[in-house]
Structure 1
Amino acid sequence: MLVGRDVPIAAVTALIDQAQRQAGGAVVLCGEAGIGKSTILSYGCELAAARGVRVAAVAGVQAEVHIPYAGLHRLWWLLGGDRSAGGTGIESPYTAAMTLLALIGSRDEPALIAVEDAHWLDRGSWEALTFAARRLGSEPVAMVLTIRDGEDVDRLLAQAGLPEQRLEPLTPADSGTLLDTVAPGLSPPLRDRVLAQAAGNPLGLVELGQVAATSGGAALLPSWLPLSTRVERTFTALVAELPPATRSLLLVAALDDGDGLDEILAAGSRFAGRPVTVADIEPAVTTRLVRVDDTYRLRFRHPLLRSALYQSAGVADRRRVHAALAEVIATDLDRRVWHRAGAAAGPDEALARELTETATRAGDRQAASVALAAFQRAVQLSEDPAERGRRLLAAAEVASEQGDIAAARQLIDDVAEEHLRPADQAWLSYLREAFFITGWSGTARLMLFAELIDALRRDGDQQRAIDALIVMSLRFYWSNPPVQTIQAYLAVADEFDSSKENPRLTAAVGLIAPVQRGAVTLERMTQLRARFDLTPAEQQHLGLSAGGIGALPLSAQFFSAAVAGIRAQGRVGVLAQLLTSQAFTAACQGDTRMARPTAAEAAALAAETGQPAWTLTAHLTLGHAHALAGDTDAALDAADRAEQVLLPGGRLPMLALVQLIRGVAALAAGRPADAYAQLCRIFDPGDVAHHAYLPLVTFGHLIEAAIWSGQEEALRAQIDRLSGVARESASPSLVVALRYAEAVLSGDGRTYEAALAADLSEWPFERARLERAYGGWLRRRRRSAESRPLLRSAAATFDALGAAPWAERARAELRASGESLRRAGDDAGSLTLQEQQIARLAADGLSNKEIAERLFLSPRTISTHLYRIYPKLGIKSRGELAQYVDLRTRTDAPQPYVE
């Protein structure tokens, strides 16, 4: 009976109505145990079925919380997916979510996905389901999840970002109505006692009311027990009345991570030491404690019954059940090793090794919670103190990936440092500094880490040493280290075997010393570009290194390949980092049409995967792109917000990104003196916003600001310093900027011509900037006819890149020359950033399915977006879209409009 639940019922009904109108959505019903979540979910399932809506219902199971994708597999089967798909077929929660969206979108009829006890889902299933739920907008699917209160659950809900419907206790009046329905005739004192102890909890009212009606007030003692405990004891009492064989089977079912009746019966026979049959489960079915569906899958009436069985069983019985299940489960190695671990009575190094392998596989699938639990159980089973320490360190790393720093610190505190091998002692010190204990220390401990990395290498753990060097190289880039520290790291890197052939070492060296080793690293990376065997991770590191040196086109190529590979793997956490880097490279190239949607996607994914540092960096990159596009308010807001985080956190070199935004925004707004003042801080070693290597890719903006504001002499001093840097590093972006500076300072047409004669095919923004400067120089010397082709080309290029303020200045110069050029119509400006991204991919010839796979959306959602895009652009088909985008991105001179 549903009493006092009009609001959540209306929410679930509205979702089902919405799904029937071909628009999806999700809601999470949350609250304490017994509050009525399951009843409302059942109501929704019955309503959907009565309307002809397809219903797929699954439940989280406490015993299978560590089995990767167990809940998702059951849902997959219910929706008609291939039953042969196993855990090894899922690479990450995000690819699983996309497969699920494709499956539910393969039919046009509406569907309801009902997920009970979602807090007991394994982490992979939870992440996949919530990731899919956020993308149901264009699918005829309603998703309703129930979840019990708890601190861990609150964190999950905060990360999920789904609409919540919290169920509160019933009012006194509604509580009385429900109690009088289920237990009429209670004496007033007993009725008041039940109402007081149930405290508005519907399950408590039903169960305690019925017990009071049959057994009197004594059944309600002890009154101090929490409601969930009292209800669990009520269930335990119900189970105690069943035959021994039935109780044994229910205990097996409670500890099983599957729900197949045949598996439960087989394990039950081993546990009982005699054959157990279907007849032995019938008493539990008759009393409605469990139900068995048409596919012979067993489900408990209420999750508290499973919990009650688990709590009431002795340790010895639980171990015997796990042993029986391990014997029955033969084909799924991960499930089997979990049950063997559950049955283990003491340390077992061989089993600990198997669990460590399970943890590693789970980590590769991005099932971080499964990996963490496996590592922790492996620690408990470890006999070798050194291996125990290594597993604790691995567990700490996984905990940090989940954002649970408190757990990571506790795991590190549990490490007995004296038992660690030298390599692991080094790794422990690294983890303490980099993630957990001391926080950000700038350059203070970089020398120590050089020694630790070298210790890892000398002890034969080259893989971990290279991993550490890669991690430290990115930190190095953002630390402004002194020369002696740079030399120390280079000496360590040079000691590795095959350093010239190892792409990751090449990338690390490029980030550690973009100037000192820039030229040789750039040569190696240019050779590596032709290799087909690079992994996406290697391409990512090479892209970072190439960008750090200023080889922006090469960086963009590596990032493009890496993004495709990481998207295919579904590694969304890594993808967020990679897209941030890709967007930054695009912004440094002046390409706002690439940078803005990419940075927006990166920020959303970084927030979605719990990476605040990368979320901040993505927003900074988006601010840079906004500044280039002329959206100065959004740009400056991003800069201000970032500064409020970076200054207190002591991450001062990253303030250079704040100054970059402010400087470019000032240039866009026509305030060159302000732009010069803001950008100069990046170049000044005495400023807190100084960055040692960002000048390699930002010098062009400083040159433009200096020339426009009359700071030629100050600019010459910068050129004198950076010319030597360019010779040593061979930084392509710096070389291009110095040609631009030489031309604008020369006042000589031949110098302009020489600069334009260089190969600038991969530098469209810089070529357009040079063309606009040369065109203006020619116009001021009354050579208007010669200036116009240059100015037209510059305007067209800036328009194609979305750098509106620069395009407008080129048109202003053109008008001053006596010719007016209409501003290119930019209907694309009416598109959202996501619509711009979809339009670009569709114009490239990708199908809806291919676009969906890239953007982690459903094909139906892509189709819906395209139908919105077409009228905004005044087109009707994908063919016209391709023509439109081609015209918008073409950089040759358009036909001028002469007033």
Structure 2
Amino acid sequence: MVGRDGERARLSAFVLAPDGQALVLRGEAGVGKSTLLDLAARLAAEDGQLVVRATGVEAESGLPHAGLHQLLYPLLPTSDDRPCDGRPFDDRPTDHRLSDNRPSGAPQLGAAARAAFDAVFGRPDGPPPPVMALGIAVLDLLSWTASKGRPVLLVLDDGQWLDEASAEVCGFVGRRLAGRPGVKLLVAVRGDTASPFDTAALPEAPIGALADADATRLLDLHHPRLGRQVRGLVLEQAGGNPLALLELPAHLADGPGDRAGQDLLGLHGVPLPRRIQEIYAARLARLGDTVRAELLRGALDGAAARPGDGPASIARYRMREVDEAVACGLLVVEPGAGEFAFRHPLVRSSVVQLATPDQRRAAHRVLAQLHREYPERRAIHLAAATVDPEEGVAADLEAAARSATRRGGARLAVSWLTRAAELSETRVDRSRRLGEAAYVAGQTDHLGRARSLALAAAPGTDESPAAVLADSYLALYRDGEVRATHRRIVAAVERLRDSPDRGHHLPGLADRHDLPGRADRVGQGPDRPDEVLDRLVSLLLAVSQYAGDRATWRRTHEVLATLGDLATERAWMYGSTWSDVVRHGAGWSRRVERASAGLEEQDPWDVTRLAVSAYHLDVLSPLRPYLERVVDRELDTGAMSSGIVMLHLVLLDQLALGQWDAAERTGHRALALATERGHGLFAHQTRAYLAQLAAVRGRTAEARELQTAVEAWARPRGVGFLTQIADAVGATAALSAGDYETAFLHAIGITPPGAFRPYAYQASRTLLDLVEAALHTGRAEQARAHALAARDAGLPDLSPRLALVTHGALAMTAEDDTEASAHYARAQSHPAAERFPFELARIRLAHGIAVRRLHGAAAARLPLTQAAKAFDRLGAPAWSARAHAELRAAGVAPQAPAPTSIPLTWQERRVAELAAGGLTNKEIGEQMRLSPRTVSAHLYRAFPKLGITTRAALRDALTRVSQPTPAP
């Protein structure tokens, strides 16, 4: 603590302050951060606070929530509170989920919080929760603990090694402690090492080297008898680093002065942590083999430098019989628990570096056995323990990769699959696993790596299944190339179908039959290994969907039919629902619902494909809670492409349910991500959805601007999926503006009246638009023909939304009042009618108009009032004005509610001002110490509050709003 008066005062004020807060200590290795953490912990303990300590572990930096587990373990009771010992091994697995038999005084957590903590404690029953859900659960737990009269101090050392998922939650919690008295978070990170806390936007305190006078005083206090020459050498070499000032003299005293001095001078120019490591290495070299082996196992398993209070983390190796290492200053004995811990992280690094490769592999084998109940931890040690090909280890790594993928760790799965390929005993297995790694890399948006892995899986050819998959995803996502991509995938599917040894070179997981939907194949048992064929077919169907034309879909269905027993039920489901729901969608809703029962056990890309089928059948809402839970996970550490598709699906459900403000925020987030990743297809798809949203809200200029951009990109490429949306946007925007002739022309561009153009998926979705536009332009016969065509095609049986709009269209075009009344009643009483508020309000408006003309004003007031309130609530001013005008004609003069503005937060305002000044997201992030993704998030929340959709409109919008919220 010499020379640390300022730091001590700040930490004392931090620890003893009644308000919740967070602080990050940043400095180089050996500068004294851990000692300052010890001081803070001691001050807090003396004040009666509950101190919870954790240490970032480099070996676990790739394991989601490993660090958070350390922090939560002392706070939550478990069904078995015994920490796992390294020796002897116990064959009984320990379940570390929260116990239902909670001890007296334990926090009574709700189901959501219990599920969130179960995920962190290593035995999840469902998917890991997103950052916000888990962060809120942690905040609730901390607040509950502090509310019992004992404030909480969380102390985290070596934060640079914390896994990204834990760091995000800690950052989320730290930024929200200001309003939660009694809870504090103190973190130490190395200043010379990249850290997940670099972008956490938490207050920081730099811990620098000691001033010359303080360095001299510290050296003299601990080594008063140093000779003048050695003293000067130590001061020069230490450069004010306290650990170096304490350790270098001991190193010089280990041997003859001249030789030791020469050794030290020989390290001149080497970074200081390395010099200290050399000192520790000299001490390690004097230890016996048994002690060094114990230290190595502890170091590789992440034994904490100074763990502090609370029980140890589960399944952590405990070092035994290492008193010799304590005597020479490498280990300390933890007070109370009596456990051995490394004196400093640099000791742990020295232990690992000094060990031979054979010694490290032997230690990893022991640790792999220790973690046998935890596949992902086991995989880390297995990968490091094995040199020669070994099929059992490769299979274990493959299983761990599968587990990681389903838990949102697809990026980590790529590394494990690649290592599994290296350890495969046969060329076939190696190729298969490299192909699997290529596929997962493509889903994580590492398309370049996906292609290199695919080429490695089948060297010498660009037409291997893995290469076709990698190249096709690249062509589709980046460039929207559907024609050539479709031809190439068809050729690859046919080659694979006709190959006599198909199962021997398919890079997929042979045992994927444990997934729901994998076993229910047409005429095929669950054990077939044709995973890559499934993936090629799924991609072929996706390309066909984006092409959206009759010829492409016919060719795709021909290929699907030739596969016979090789085609899965999922393939037929996608081929039917994605292509032409009017002709092929019957009977699939129940199967989609059945397949949705096991989403947690499916890969993220399988979930999104199933959800797309649910969207086409208008049964997406039950899947949305799961999508919202996992989308952040996939965008951060998992399948990025699937994450963007999940955002699209959430947006579409929000649009259907009338949650338009939320839909706009989701859309801008998806657009920012797609643009940042260079996904031209996803970016323009998002613009198309935002155009639909602008059209229903009556923002016709914005809708047409977006529509034009989408058409200009999609039409030359033949992306019919997007050009159909553009036509639908034109129809809806024109209806909102009262331009019914233009609306009719756009609608018949999708499908002619009285028919539903084959493979035009917007044909059924624009049924109401075409009918209304035809009626308002005097084309009553064409409107009637279209309504009857919907009835005869069986649309009411296909989906709840189509049932609603079909009965609405039949009512609007009915030839007599009795028929009209019956269909209006069936539409408005449909069990799912309220799930589609915009369509329901339009039908009620038409009903009110018809009733007023036939039965008088009094009878029309109820449906007109219902329609007007719905349009007001949705934020559709053009439709709302129309409904209020009809109400006035019916003798009612309702007052439209005054719009309420939502103020910008201080950060939103500041980000918006910098963006209006022309700065990029990266430049704004550097100025405000935020990540570019966080800047993007602030902007997409600010845009709807300002009533704009582009950065160009920021300056004018900011001049219209009131003064910003004061800075915190």
Q: Same fold (TM over 0.5)?
A: yes
Q: Cα distance, 1:718 vs. partner?
A: 10
Higher helix share: 1
Quote the residue 1:428 is aligned against.
467
List runs of 5+ in structure 2 lacking aligned partners: 82-93, 97-120, 305-310, 504-527, 753-758, 906-968
Q: Following superposition of structure 1 onto structure 2, how do residues 454-493 of structure 1 map, counting pairs within 5 Å?
A: 459=503, 460-481=528-549, 483-489=551-557, 491-492=559-560
Kindly indicate whether the alpha-carbon contact (under 8 Å) linking 2:55 and 2:158 is maintained by their aligned counterparts in 1. yes
Question: Residues 481 and 333 from structure 1, CA distance in 2 versus in 1: closer, same or farther, beyond 3 angstroms?
Answer: same
Partner deviation per Cα, 1:820-849 (whole Å, 9 max, x = no partner): 23447999x87999xxxxxxxxxxxxxxxx
Aligned pairs (5 A) from 1:448-597: 448-453=488-493, 459=503, 460-481=528-549, 483-489=551-557, 491-492=559-560, 495-497=563-565, 504-514=570-580, 518-526=582-590, 529=593, 535=599, 541-548=609-616, 551-552=617-618, 554-556=619-621, 558-559=622-623, 577-578=645-646, 580-588=648-656, 591-593=657-659, 595-597=660-662
Alpha-carbon distance, 1:398 to partner: 4.0
- 1:813 corresponds, among 886, 904, 911, to 886
Residues 583 and 598 in structure 1, CA contact (< 8 A), matched pair in contact too = yes
Change (3 A) 1:203 1:258: closer
Which residue does 2:70 correspond to in 1? 74
SS for the counterpart of 1:433 is helix
TM-score between the two structures when normalised by the length of structure 1 = 0.70
1:447 corresponds to 2:482? no
Deviation of 1:584 (Å): 0.7
Q: Tell me, yes or no, if structure 1 residue 163 matches structure 2 residue 201.
A: yes
Task: Quote the Cα distance in structure 1 between the aligned partners of 2:27 and 2:435.
Answer: 35
Q: CA deviation at 1:434?
A: 0.9
Deviation of 1:402 (Å): 4.7
Does the 8 A contact of 2:65 with 2:165 survive in 1?
Answer: yes
1:59 Cα shift?
1.1
8 A Cα contact 2:838 2:870, kept in partner = yes
Contact map agreement 2:884 2:894 (CA 8 A) in 1: yes
Say if 1:35 and 1:202, in contact at 8 Å, map to a contact too.
Answer: yes
In the alignment, what sits opposite 2:274? Answer: 229
The 1:799–1:539 alpha-carbon spacing in structure 2 relative to 1, beyond 3 Å, is farther
**Counterpart residue number, 1:59:** 55
Assess if the C-alpha contact under 8 Å between 1:666 and 1:675 holds in 2: yes
- Letter matched to residue 466 of structure 1: D
* Alignment match of 1:773 (pick from 836, 843, 846): 846
User: CA–CA distance in 1 between the matches of 2:389 and 2:647?
Assistant: 44
Q: Is 1:697 matched with 2:770?
A: no
The match for 2:123 is 89
SS at match of 2:327: helix
Deviation at 1:673, TM superposition (A): 7.6
Counterparts of 1:747 and 1:190, CA distance in 2: 107
Q: 1:327 to 1:753 in 2, by over 3 A?
A: closer
SS in 2 for 1:78: coil
> What is the deviation of 1:252?
3.0
When normalised by structure 2's length, the TM-score is 0.66
Contact 1:249–1:264 (Cα < 8 Å) also in 2: no
Q: How far is the alpha carbon of 1:365 from its aligned partner?
A: 2.7
**Aligned mates of 1:347, 1:138 — CA distance in 2:** 55
Amino acid at match of 2:576: G
Corresponding residue number in structure 1 for 2:161: 120
After superposition, the Cα gap between the structure-2 partners of 1:352 and 1:54, relative to the gap in structure 1 and judged at 3 Å, is: same
Q: 1:513 to 1:641 in 2, by over 3 A?
A: closer
Structure 1 letter corresponding to 2:482 = G
Separation (CA, whole Å) in 2 of partners of 1:404 and 1:38: 38
Q: In the aligned structure 1, how far is the partner of 2:40 from the partner of 2:700?
A: 48
| Alignment correspondent of 1:351 | 393
Letter of the aligned partner of 1:765 in structure 2? F
Secondary structure of the residue aligned to 2:51 is: strand
* Correspondence list, 1:377-392, <5 A: 377-392=419-434
The 1:522–1:547 alpha-carbon spacing in structure 2 relative to 1, beyond 3 Å, is farther
- Can you give the 5+ residue segments of structure 1 that lack an aligned partner in the other structure? 269-275, 686-690, 834-899
- What is the rounded CA distance, in whole Å, between the counterparts of 1:374 and 1:661 in structure 2? 45
Give yes or no for the alignment of 1:759 onto 2:823. no
Corresponding residue SS for 1:547 = helix
C-alpha displacement of 1:522: 2.6
In 2: Cα distance, 1:150 partner to 1:662 partner: 55
Query: Which amino acid letter does the alignment assign opposite residue 448 of structure 1?
Result: R
Are residues 564 and 371 of structure 1, via their aligned partners in 2, closer, same or farther at CA, if it must alter by over 3 Å?
closer
| Further displaced range: 674-683 or 356-365 | 674-683
Give the alignment of 1:142-153 within 5 angstroms.
142-148=184-190, 153=194
| Residue type of the alignment partner of 2:343 | R
The AA in structure 1 aligned to 2:841 is A
- The aligned amino acid for 1:559 is L
How far has the Cα of 1:487 moved from its partner? 3.0
Deviations 1:272-296 (A, max 9, x none): xxxx625334314xx2644434334
Deviation at 1:508, TM superposition (A): 0.6
Residue 495 of structure 1: SS of its match in structure 2?
A: helix
Matched residue, 1:110: 151
2:301 is aligned to 256
Measured at CA, do residues 313 and 627 of structure 1 come closer, stay the same or move farther in structure 2, by a change above 3 Å? same
Aligned-pair distance for 1:352? 1.6
Q: Once the 2 structures are TM-superposed, how far is the Cα of residue 5 of structure 1 from its aligned partner?
A: 10
Which secondary structure state, in structure 1, belongs to the residue aligned with residue 341 of structure 2? Answer: strand
Q: Secondary structure at the match of 2:483?
A: coil
Quickly say closer, same or farther: Cα 1:445–1:327, change in 2 above 3 A. Answer: closer
1:790 to 859, 863, 875: 863
Residues 725-780 of structure 1 show CA distances to partners (whole Å, capped at 9, x for unaligned) of 99668476678667767877899877855753553424453343133235446667
How many residues align structurally?
A: 791
1:389 and 1:419 in contact (8 A); partners too: no
Alpha carbons of structure 1 residues 226 and 321: separation in structure 2 relative to 1, 3 Å = same
Give secondary structure in 1 for the equivalent of 2:48: coil
For residues 492 and 121 of structure 1, do their structure 2 counterparts lie closer, same or farther at Cα, with a shift above 3 Å needed? same
Mapped partners of 1:193, 1:237: distance in 2? 19
Provide the aligned C-alpha RMSD in A.
5.7
**Residue 129 to residue 473, structure 1, CA distance change in 2 (3 Å):** farther
Q: 2:418 aligns with which of 365, 376, 381?
A: 376
Residues 1:32 and 1:584: Cα distance change in structure 2 (over 3 Å): farther
Identify which of 200, 216, 222 aligns with 1:180: 216
Alpha-carbon distance in 2 for matches of 1:535, 1:95: 16
Q: Is the 8 A contact 2:296 2:351 kept in 1?
A: yes
Matched, 1:282 2:326: yes
Contact map agreement 1:635 1:665 (CA 8 A) in 2: yes
Q: CA 1:40 to 1:431, structure 2 compared with 1: closer, same or farther past 3 Å?
A: farther
Closer, same or farther: CA 27–373 of 1 in aligned 2, 3 Å: farther
Tell me how far 1:368 sits from its aligned partner: 3.7
On the 8 A contact 2:294/2:322 being kept in 1, the answer is: no
Deviations for 1:632-691, whole angstroms, at most 9, x for unmatched residues?
8998999899999999999885476678678757765x4748984996798499xxxxx9
How many angstroms does 1:89 deviate by? 0.8
- Give the Cα–Cα distance (whole angstroms) in 2 for the partners of residues 453 and 578 of structure 1: 27
Over 3 Å counting, the alpha-carbon distance change for 1:111 and 1:80 in structure 2 is same
Contact persistence 1:539–1:559 (CA under 8 A): no
Whether contact under 8 Å (1:92, 1:569) holds in the other structure is no
Structure 1 residues 179-258: aligned runs within 5 Å: 179-183=215-219, 219-240=264-285, 246-257=291-302
Partner of 1:861: none
